[in-house]
Structure 1
Amino acid sequence: MARFRNKKRKVSVKPVLKKQPSGVDHVTGDKIPKSFVFSRGKLPGPLRHLQMDLRKLMLPFTALKLKEKKRNNLKDFLNVSGPMGVTHFLIVSKSETAPYLRVARTPQGPTITFKIHEYSLAADIVQSQLHPRCPHDLFKNSPLIVLSGFGTGEQHLKLSTIMFQNMFPAIDINTVKLSSCQRIVLLNYNKETKLIDFRHYSIRLQPVGVSRRIRKFVQNHQVPDLRSLQDVSDFVTKAGYGSESEADDEAATVSLATDLGRVNRVSTKSALKLQEIGPRMTLQLMKIEEGLCSGVVIFSEYGNSGAKEKQDNKEEEEDDNEKNSKQEEAEDDNEGEA
């Protein structure tokens, strides 16, 4: 009979790398901010489109196809937000006078209410542009957040700053990939009008000192039409072919830490270009509540009388509870002596 040898096989065990849990911000160590964008009450068509534009703006950490029903209340969304790791609610509503946007932190608040004075949809912004730009991977990463004019020292502006900053993942300037920085959300506070300009831009870089024809040739990988030219140099130098490089503002030029694409290199300077992609809003801060769409009013545009009344009522209730507890203790003592 044939004999079989038992060969000892070496088993290679790969080291287990401790991966960071999904949904955790590698900069702060906290969970990545996620959002629900939904409406309360019946909205007209344009506000429905604004709601969808806000969902695209909050990508990729939002529910783009969140389904709402008339019977859903705030508690339903709150029950779902916990298991899904949702940290913020953006609630669009419409009153008889104006539309409103509420930004709430889950699960216990606070809630900031903004009045929408004016707004433009993303589709309107695109139609107004001669050359609209929307790359396929534009919404693959979260936008950067830039706040201007909020450093006045007022308490309600500090709370608004913290709320807006915590809505988006934090970035580490030492480790962030430049290719992931493709969008920016800009909020500018006007001290005189007390209005907030809300803008959403796409970011692109162009090398400084490179002709437009050469830049397009490198980026598009297309062979140019040289039939009418006597020499290849005419493609760069001949007038009428966009040979002169576009005028670039020195204040808008940056030096890259790493190469980005085929054109923007570390050795050359690049011009920073912003192109608005919408939506655009003009907001007014109306109210800040301590809880989730409820609770003590911390700030009100019409004064803090409502907050004082609620605080007084709360103190009166606490005093009544103390009196009732003392009376119950006294009655218990009397019964024990009897």
Structure 2
Amino acid sequence: MARFRNKKKKMPVDTRAVKKRPSVDHLTGEKIPKSFVFSRGKLPGSLKQLELDLRKVMLPHTALKLKENRRNNLKDFLNVAGPMGVTHFLILSKPKTVPHLRVARTPQGPTLTFEIQEYALAADVARAQTRPRCPQGIFNNSPLIVLSGFGSGGQHLKLTTIMFQNIFPAIDINTVNLSSCQRIFLLNYNTETKLIDFRHYSIRLQPIGVSRRIRKFVLSHNVPDLRSLQDVSDFVTKAGYGSESEADEESATVSLANDLGRVNRASTKSAVKLQEIGPRMTLRLVKIEEGLCSGGVIFSEYVKDTEASQGSHEDDKQATAEEETEAD
């Protein structure tokens, strides 16, 4: 008797993580960008953790619990991305010795390919700090994106700028709630080395012009121990003011808006501090393709002439096929 193999339906993503988020901004009326972060081929444990860290960077409009299967190919993710409104793919791979990160616009491209020269996980960044800070609530809103050094380059840097500007929701400076801006996503391009520094920070407001004890009391919301004091005024006057030099600089202080004043009740002025939460990467842009991980090569770092670009495109197609074969 013939045996029929039971084929399970491929489901590469946990749809609940994306469906619960709105697709259109109720204030601007524009479509909210959403993303999938996944890998192709086999990755070592450190790169798998980097994949999870990148998903946190892309929160809240991404699938944090994206389910991948070795049998899934790029079409499987693309078929699910359309109905769910996913606009961008971030794909990690390691075809040879250097890990690659591809950032693609769905469904028709373009695709930017980066070599990951160096990287550090969020856990590594936290271990290097005396007082790591990463509140869970800061991932409830998208980060602010800051691009530096991309204006002096060629057409490929302009395309890179457009890609990353559209990967997060646009903000309206007239209606944005400043208390929701708690993260910064920074890309800095070095024109001499042609390397891009990828950084991820949390924004912290520190009251200035008040004693250290008052500041600590307001930020921690804990009842202070007053048993050793004769009067409550001693609690206010005994501790000196902040000793950090940055907080005393005029350029490092801002006057708080009304919505931020409710968050930082100690003072109307505050020092804005950035604390890295990771991950961090050093990237090199090596290729831009017209389509989704395919198509003509618009830019190549190592191949300049047209004929060589076409040959490089054939090599890239072969490398992609090898990744798919390895994943199967």
TM-score range, shorter chain: 0.7 to 0.9
Task: Tell me if structure 1 keeps the 8 A contact 2:111–2:289.
Answer: yes
Displacement of 1:129 in angstroms is: 1.1
Preserved CA contact (<8 Å) 1:258 1:266: no
Residue 27 of structure 1, CA deviation:
6.0
| 1:160 maps onto 2:160 in alignment | yes
- Of residues 203-212 and 53-62 in structure 1, the stretch that sits farther from structure 2 once superposed is 203-212
Identity of aligned residues (%): 76
Deviations 1:160-194 (A, max 9, x none): 00000000000011110011101010110000000
Deviation at 1:208, TM superposition (A): 1.7
CA distance in 2, matches of 1:262, 1:224: 21
Q: Which AA in structure 1 matches 2:230? A: Q
1:113-169: CA deviation from partner (whole Å, max 9, x where unpaired): 000000000011111111111223110001110000000141000000000000000
Asked if the contact 2:210/2:267 (under 8 Å) is kept, the reply is no
**2:320 match:** none
**Map of 2:146 onto structure 1:** 146
Residues 26 and 252 of structure 1, relative CA distance in 2, 3 Å threshold = farther
Q: How does 1:1-338 map to 2 (within 5 A)?
A: 22-26=22-26, 29-238=29-238, 241=239, 243-247=240-244, 248=247, 249-260=249-260, 262=262, 264=264, 268-306=268-306, 310=310
- 1:163 is paired with a residue whose SS is helix
Give the conservation status (yes or no) of the 8 Å contact 1:299–1:307: no
Alignment partners' CA distance in 2, 1:28 and 1:284: 34
Contact 1:255 1:270 (C-alpha < 8 Å) held by counterparts? yes
From the superposition, tell whether residues 138 and 292 of structure 1 become closer, same or farther in structure 2 (CA, over 3 Å). same
- Scaled by the length of structure 1, what TM-score is found? 0.81
Alpha-carbon distance between aligned partners in 2 of 1:179 and 1:28, rounded to the nearest angstrom = 19
| 3-state SS, counterpart of residue 100 of structure 2 | strand
CA change 1:264–1:36 in 2 (3 A) is same
Q: Is the 8 A contact 1:100 1:114 kept in 2?
A: yes
Distance 1:85 1:125, change over 3 A: same
Q: Is the 8 A contact 2:289 2:297 kept in 1?
A: yes
1:257 is displaced (CA, Å) by: 2.4
3-state SS of 1:151 partner: coil
2-structure distance, mates of 1:250, 1:146: 22
Query: Equivalents in 2 of 1:100, 1:124: separation in Å?
Result: 20
- Asked which structure has the greater CA Rg, the reply is 1
Distance in structure 1 (CA, Å) of the matches to 2:178 and 2:129 = 26
Q: How far, CA to CA, are the matches of 1:292 and 1:255 in structure 2?
A: 45
CA contact (8 A) 2:142 2:183 kept: yes
Measured in 2, the distance between the counterparts of 1:73 and 1:58 equals 22
Question: Which residue identity is paired with 2:189?
Answer: Y
Please say if residues 218 and 262 of structure 1, whose CA atoms lie closer than 8 Å, have aligned partners that are also in contact: no
Give yes or no for contact 1:202–1:275 (8 Å, CA) kept in 2: yes
2: CA distance between counterparts of 1:212 and 1:140?
29
Question: Judging changes above 3 Å, is the alpha-carbon distance between structure 1 residues 44 and 255 closer, same or farther for their aligned structure 2 residues?
Answer: same
> How many pairs align?
289
Superposed CA offset, 1:67-102 (max 9, x none): 111111101111110001000000000022200000
Report the TM-score when normalising by structure 2.
0.83
Alpha-carbon distance in 2 for matches of 1:252, 1:90:
35
Deviates more, 1:209-218 or 1:263-272: 263-272
1:27 and 1:171 in contact (8 A); partners too = no
After superposition, give the CA deviation of every residue in 1:3-52 in whole Å (9 maximum; x if it has no partner). Answer: xxxxxxxxxxxxxxxxxx93113565331000000001000000000000
Structure 1 unaligned regions, length at least 5: 1-20, 314-338
Go from structure 1 to structure 2 and tell me whether the alpha carbon gap of 1:299 and 1:41 turns closer, same or farther (over 3 Å shift).
same
- For the Cα contact (< 8 Å) 2:209–2:267, is it kept in 1? no
Other-structure match for 2:18: none
Whether the 8 Å CA contact 1:215–1:263 is kept in 2: the answer is: no
Alignment match, 2:11: none
Question: How far 1:245 moved relative to its partner?
Answer: 2.0
